[in-house]
Amino acid sequence: MSAKEIIVPTGAAKPSRRVGRGPGSGKGKTSGKGHKGQNARSGGGVRPGFEGGQMPLYRRLPRRGFNNGAFRKEYVVLNLEILNEKFNDNEVVNLETLKQKRIIRRSVESVKILGNGRITKKLTVEVPAISASAKLQIESAGGKVVLVTPSQVENNGQ
């Protein structure tokens, strides 16, 4: 047996119920659907949230508040320990180099550096966001921090 083989625990893979296979099965004849009615029909049943004509809960509750989801800025969070591990002295850390070293995915647009871990290398960090503790550690190690806006990042990539 190889190390990559997945072992399924006993009882984890439950066989599907075979309906309509005679009276001895307990699910014969009407296959557990009873006689006639909406739920016995092909494609029968009601849509999710339907309450038999009563005003459904999602329409009874008021729509309140403001949702900033469309305008929220999503950041991929990186800690200093990752930068210290993946980069050498006097290297530039920006979105391009992070993507080249496969630390972040190609689709990522914004990164925030946080101060978890220690940094011992002199790095030039060019990112859209950085925490105060991370900035302090990078500068105390002899590095430089440059905050770039997302528009500057897009222009550099072209």
The string of pLDDT tens digits covering residues 82-117 is: 999 999 999 999 999 999 999 999 999 899 999 999
- What are the pLDDT digits (tens) for 65-80? 888 888 888 999 999 9
111: Cβ contacts below 8 Å, ≥ 6 apart:
75, 76, 77, 78, 95, 98, 104, 127, 128, 129
* Domains of the chain, residue spans: 76-157
Q: For residues 83 and 121, what is the distance between their CA atoms, to the nearest angstrom?
A: 9
Strands (E) in the chain, as ranges, are 76-79, 92-93, 111-114, 124-127, 129-130, 144-147
Of 91, 77, 78, residue with least CA distance to 121: 91
* pLDDT tier for residue 6 given thresholds of 50, 70 and 90: confident
CATH 3.100.10.10 is held by the domain 76-157: yes
Residue 141 pLDDT > 80, yes or no?
yes
- What are the pLDDT digits (tens) for 7-54? 889 889 888 999 999 999 999 999 999 999 999 999 999 999 999 999
pLDDT number for residue 84: 94
Burial environment of residue 135 by CB neighbours within 10 A (0 to 12, 13 to 18, 19 or more): middle
Of 80, 78, 75, 82, residue with least CA distance to 139: 80
